[in-house]
């Protein structure tokens, strides 16, 4: 299921085998929350290097419905993506998206905005929904505390996360679908390690590391990440959820993370922020209006091969959808290129030098991203 090919320090290179192909790690998954990477076709997403996507089981359950997608042949056929698909449970989005809800030991009770009905998302329901969708990797329901929650609240969410993981593991049916638990525990070392230890005892196929990049500092994030990763088995994949800036990707790879996802590249692109190896810049600034060169010199993405920065600036000023699409293609290509280069550096035992050289060319300030 997971083959570890090389280790350089704590950084790892491997291959995750799924029903829809092997995914080389470290890897970055574009976010396809509602079975679409916003503004892009599956063919375009594959062209820029992505081999895995993540969709949101809860949102697809609300519309068009997991059973409907199952009748359409499953999520791969429904959205026309032949590669690997992860599905998140939706607990994170529920808590942060303004739903009228109550988190209880039985599950997350919420109001369905489409029907007005009061429903409950339970660990067992999440397993059922994701089985119907037919994703390659399903995530167990977890209780992610909001940033700034006190220790008692984090303790309660960690306890509930472990209890829900046990119920999800019991509800899981034999199939080719891989199943990951999610480590919580806020910024508390003991809670992080206790949660990781409890999930490892349930023998999941892999482990998500959640509740980070939601407001804490970079140093706090990396410490909590290290506490979590230290307790996870080396032979299974580690997935840091919701991280997509260049600096955070490289620093997290250095801590032993294999898989990432974030809406950061595509959401920034739709707001005209361009990602490059020299840092991010805003395409809306007047200085780009007459630049004949591409978004980034030397970039071979479809956008940079065919369009000037001046043209993209014009589309930005017109707020045109084509510009958002082309910027999204570039940003996704950049992130996919970055993790591929990191993988090669690990295989060549040169990752620390690669990371230090790359980060030396970036501004000191970094940004974080969340799901969309």
Q: Assess contact for 328 and 269: CB atoms under 8 A.
A: yes
| Contact assessment for residue 348 and residue 315, using Cβ atoms and an 8 Å cutoff | no
Query: Which of 88, 142, 143, 258 is flagged as catalytic?
Result: 88
- For the question of residue 170 being annotated catalytic, the response is no
Please tell me whether residue 153 adopts helix, strand or coil conformation. helix
H or E element in which residue 296 lies: none
Joined together, the tokens standing for residue 167 give: 């119920």
Closest CA to 339 of 357, 363, 355, 362: 355
| Packing angle of the helix pair 218-230, 246-253 (nearest 10 deg) | 30
Q: 71: part of which helix (H) or strand (E)? A: helix 66-71
Quote the CA–CA distance of 282 and 32 in Å, as a whole number. 24
Query: Active site includes 88?
Result: yes
Distance CA 184, CA 91 (A): 12
- Furthest-apart CA pair in the chain: how many Å? 61
The answer to whether the CB of 263 falls within 8 A of the CB of 372 is yes
CA dist 227 and 347 (Å) reads: 25
Element (H, E) at 28: strand 27-30
Q: Which two tokens stand for residue 185?
A: 């525990």
Catalytic residue selected from 142, 205, 261, 320: 261
C-alpha separations of 274 from 40, 278, 305, 368 in Å = 16, 10, 15, 15
Q: Beta strands 206-209 and 11-18: pairing type?
A: unpaired
Cβ distance 327 to 274 under 8 Å?
yes
Q: Which of 59, 61, 150, 144 is nearest to 103 (CA)?
A: 144
HSE-up (13 A, CA, CB side) for residue 175 = 19
Show which residues are catalytic. Answer: 88, 261
């Amino acid at each position: 299921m997971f083959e570890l090919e090389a280790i350089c320090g704590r950084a790892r290179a491997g291959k995750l085998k799924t029903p829809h192909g092997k995914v080389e790690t470290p890897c970055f998954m574009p976010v396809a929350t509602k079975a679409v990477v916003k503004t892009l076709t599956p063919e375009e997403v594959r062209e820029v290097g992505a081999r895995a996507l993540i969709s949101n089981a809860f949102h697809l359950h609300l519309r068009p419905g997991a059973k409907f997608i199952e009748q359409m042949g499953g999520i791969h056929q429904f959205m026309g993506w032949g590669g690997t698909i992860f599905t998140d449970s939706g607990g994170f989005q529920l808590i942060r998206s303004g739903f009228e809800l109550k988190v209880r030991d039985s599950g997350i009770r919420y109001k369905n905005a489409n029907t007005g009905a009061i429903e409950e998302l339970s660990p067992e329901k999440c397993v059922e929904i994701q089985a119907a969708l037919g994703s390659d990797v399903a995530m167990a329901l977890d209780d992610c505390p909001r940033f700034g929650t006190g220790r008692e609240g984090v303790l309660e969410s960690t306890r509930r996360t472990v209890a829900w993981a046990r119920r999800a593991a019991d509800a899981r049916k034999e199939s080719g679908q891989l199943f990951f638990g999610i480590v919580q525990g806020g910024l508390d070392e003991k809670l992080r390690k206790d949660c990781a230890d409890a999930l490892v005892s349930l023998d999941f196929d892999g482990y998500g590391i959640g509740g980070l990049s939601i407001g804490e500092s970079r140093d706090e994030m990396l410490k909590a990440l290290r506490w979590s990763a230290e307790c996870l088995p080396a032979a299974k994949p580690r997935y840091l959820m919701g991280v997509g800036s260049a600096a955070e990707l490289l620093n997290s790879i250095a801590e032993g993370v294999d898989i990432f996802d974030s809406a950061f590249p595509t959401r920034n692109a739709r707001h005209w922020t361009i990602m490059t190896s020299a840092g991010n810049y805003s395409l809306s600034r007047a200085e780009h209006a007459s630049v004949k060169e591409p978004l980034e010199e030397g970039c071979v993405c479809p956008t940079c091969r065919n369009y000037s920065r001046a043209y993209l600036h014009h589309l930005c000023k017109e707020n045109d959808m084509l510009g958002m699409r082309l910027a999204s293609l570039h940003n996704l290509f950049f992130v996919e290129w970055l993790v591929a280069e990191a993988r090669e550096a690990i295989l060549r035992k040169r990752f620390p030098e690669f990371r230090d050289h790359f980060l030396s060319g970036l501004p000191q300030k970094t940004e974080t991203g969340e799901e969309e």
